[in-house]
Structure 1
Amino acid sequence: MSRLVDVALPAALGAAATVVAAATLEHRPPGGRRRWERTNFAGRTVSLLGGAAAGVGATAGPLLAAAAVRQPAAARTGRTAGAARAAVAAAVAASAGTAMGLLDDLTEDATGAAKGLRGHLGALRHGRVTTGALKILGIGAGALAAAAVATSPDGKVPVRVVDTLAGAALVAGTANLHNLFDLRPGRALKVATAVSAPLALAAPGTPHGTLAATALGVAGAALPDDLAERAMLGDTGANAVGALVGTALAAHPSRALRAGALAAVVALTLLSERMSFSGVIERNAVLRRVDALGRRPR
């Protein structure tokens, strides 16, 4: 029962933070409701407020979960300090994803001149700073700070430096990867769920397990409106949720798992520059069914 609580409680707190944020933002949208309205891939008007609420949930959820599960988890695992570091790291990473995503969502380049990681970095090399480039730099800085907090202070300095840099790449890369998947309703949140669920269920009460369970709650709370096309994650929600999932991966004690996750993130990111994830999903019957599950019919 205690293991179930260690998964359910962080998930409930992540969901609650997201739901409360959504209700608050819907009641009084900053700058007016029209500022947050966008047209999605199907031509429907949706709201970015759902992404902002997911950002709040991904930022506040880990801190709430750490406060709630800290005492019982400490009694069983002796990892109080590690849990606190992981929660702060996740909040730092998710807040950076939220802030930089908001910058991109609310001041996006209407011409679409720079697209993807290659496009924004190319524009930066030519002296043109896009909001996408600022987002890359901001999320990268937040990921580096988060990895520095999450990395254990034990061990030799060179090892800690390598772990910190690898952790930063994993957090930033996972945040960006979720944004790349966010091209259809519910897709990025399903990816977050698929990654977080095994992490949470395999190690409830641990620092990374608690973060993963919190990510499950945030994704679960945001999913209904995303699937129904009442709201969309946008860069704000996708980067924030992805940063939380990335921090859960970076906080895992297995160096082999972290290395494997980073390799997968890098490989998928490079593939996204050459092929369309939507095209791959449409051509695979199983992926197509999972991707469409719960979505509004066209």
Structure 2
Amino acid sequence: MSRTRGTSRARRISSLGLAAAVTRAATAGLRAKPPGGRERWARTNYAGRTVEWYAGPACAFAAATGTARVRPAAGLAVLVAGVCGAYDDVAGAGDARRGFRAHLTALRDGEVTSGAVKLLGISAAGLVAGASLKERAVDKVLAGVVIAGAAHLVNLVDVRPGRAAAAVVALGAPGLLRKGPGAELAAAAVGAALAVLPDDLGERAMMGDTGAHALGAALGTAVVAGNGRAGLVVHAAALVAAAVHGEARGA
């Protein structure tokens, strides 16, 4: 029994450490040789300060890599969430529309916004991952809601420096106390978040939708892997409520 606990603890530590190390290495690599030039990677934060965007793709890549080691389907969901977030970060710059309603209304009128691509892409990825991680149909759907909902939740709180990364650490930390794949998936999310938190808090970097959605999806896969139907129902209900509340506030 003690050997099993030791192995589980080692896997969690390894998953956390790997995600943190990959995030830092990827950030340093992008900073040293930024594709397209440094101007393409500069962003303006809420206070009007210019910050780096390297942390977003870096932590998304790290979270996808870390979760894929545990469950390939989880890694795919995280990767798609990051890619969709990156598309919105780039193509959606300057688009003042916020919330599901605005983007779905535009889609109904024939305009495919970056927000709609993000919404549909992450939802589809969540459902695909949920179908792989769970066996029963109801659980597959609940899992998809949890993964997509968690991705949206982390992005929802990303309104000030450090909030999204801190939220991932706070929400993911309890999962580290568990055993099994859920704990390892949570460790990957927490490790990547911890790696970007200092620069994010110091207003030197931002994750953008890229990092927020990827880390949120990683948290969602951890919840899915670590819970049965009752837990999935509770988490899905809470995430839907948070999304509705966020939509109402943004209206």
Gaps of 5+ in 2: none
Measured in 1, the distance between the counterparts of 2:52 and 2:212 equals 14
1:279: which partner in 2? Answer: none
TM-score by length of 1: 0.79
1:175: which partner in 2? Answer: 151
- CA deviation string 1:99-149 (max 9, x = no partner): 11111111114241x211121111112211101001111111211121112
Q: How does 1:109-128 map to 2 (within 5 A)?
A: 109-112=93-96, 114-128=97-111
Measured in 1, the distance between the counterparts of 2:53 and 2:28 equals 13
1:251: which partner in 2? Answer: 225
Which aligned runs of 4 or more in structure 1 are off by greater than 6 angstroms? none
2:61: which partner in 1? Answer: 56
Query: How far has the Cα of 1:16 moved from its partner?
Result: 1.2
Q: How does 1:22-61 map to 2 (within 5 A)?
A: 22-61=27-66
1:274 and 2:232 equivalent?
no
Query: How far has the Cα of 1:232 moved from its partner?
Result: 0.4
Secondary structure of 2:249's partner?
coil
TM-score by length of 2: 0.93
2:134: which partner in 1? Answer: 151
2:119: which partner in 1? Answer: 136
Select 2:22's aligned residue among 17, 24, 36. Answer: 17
After superposing the two structures, state which structure 1 stretch, 171-180 or 251-260, moved more: 251-260
1:188: which partner in 2? Answer: 164
Q: How does 1:214-293 map to 2 (within 5 A)?
A: 214-275=188-249
Q: Note the aligned Cα RMSD (angstroms).
A: 1.5
1:163 and 2:139 equivalent?
yes
Gaps of 5+ in 1: 67-86, 153-159, 277-298
Letter in 2 for 1:9: S
Letter in 1 for 2:122: I
Q: Is the 8 A contact 2:68 2:76 kept in 1?
A: no
Measured in 2, the distance between the counterparts of 1:93 and 1:266 equals 19
Measured in 2, the distance between the counterparts of 1:118 and 1:183 equals 20
Secondary structure of 2:161's partner?
coil
Query: How far has the Cα of 1:26 moved from its partner?
Result: 1.1
User: Bigger radius of gyration, 1 or 2?
Assistant: 1
Query: How far has the Cα of 1:274 moved from its partner?
Result: 2.0
Measured in 1, the distance between the counterparts of 2:175 and 2:99 equals 29
Q: Is the 8 A contact 2:84 2:117 kept in 1?
A: yes
